[in-house]
Amino acid sequence: MAETKTSEALYSFTIPVFIRTLTNLEKMLRKTEEHASGHKIELEVLLSARLYPDMYNLFQQLQYACFLPVDFAKHFASGPAPRVGYDESNLDELKGSIKQTIEYLEGISATQFEGRETSTLPLFFDDSRGLAAEAYADRLTLPNFLFHVSMAYAILRHNGVPLGKSDFLGPLGAVPMSAG
């Protein structure tokens, strides 16, 4: 079996995970709009919903779901990163940011990680400190990204949007097992 390079592994457990999860999030937001319309709920009510008073609301959770993968990926991209997760003011703009984030991530290949997988990346909240790229991915970006997407899912479920685990996970691409 061929040995997987560290750069390929780092790419594989970040960029495709971000894309798949954001694609699932897009679908959850379509269900949210259908639910809101069918139950005569203003979208602003859902976007301002939160699980606890000191937690981010749905809108902010969605902004972070865009910001975090872009912040990580920009260290491996050849061009400038889109500005997402900052200036959105409504659901349509957030959906645009999710789409823009996915498109940006789709433009990054595993080869762009070569030679950069051991780089120290500055922390997005304190650029005077940094982590090695793999540690940045598995200690900060992935857990943080999945936390914010999970909180968005929980807020939506808490507010009656009919979502299940399969909406969060999306299609698995599982294949039949051979008897043996």
Identify any residues that bridge with 109 across adjacent strands, giving them in sequence order. none
The per-residue pLDDT for range 78-124, each reduced to its tens digit, is 889 999 999 999 999 999 999 999 999 999 999 999 988 889 999 99
The structure's pTM equals 0.93
d(CA 160, CA 156): 6
Say yes or no to pLDDT of 76 above 80: yes
Instruction: Please report the domains of the chain, with CATH numbers, ordered by start residue.
Output: 7-164 (1.20.120.450)
Say yes or no to pLDDT of 156 above 90: yes
d(CA 75, CA 68): 12
- 41-48: average pLDDT: 95
The per-residue pLDDT for 1 is 42
d(CA 51, CA 56): 8
d(CA 172, CA 162): 20
CA-based Rg of the chain, rounded to a whole angstrom?
18
DSSP H or E segment with residue 122: strand 120-123
Say yes or no to pLDDT of 172 above 50: yes
The per-residue pLDDT for 3 is 54
The per-residue pLDDT for range 14-28, each reduced to its tens digit, is 999 999 999 999 999
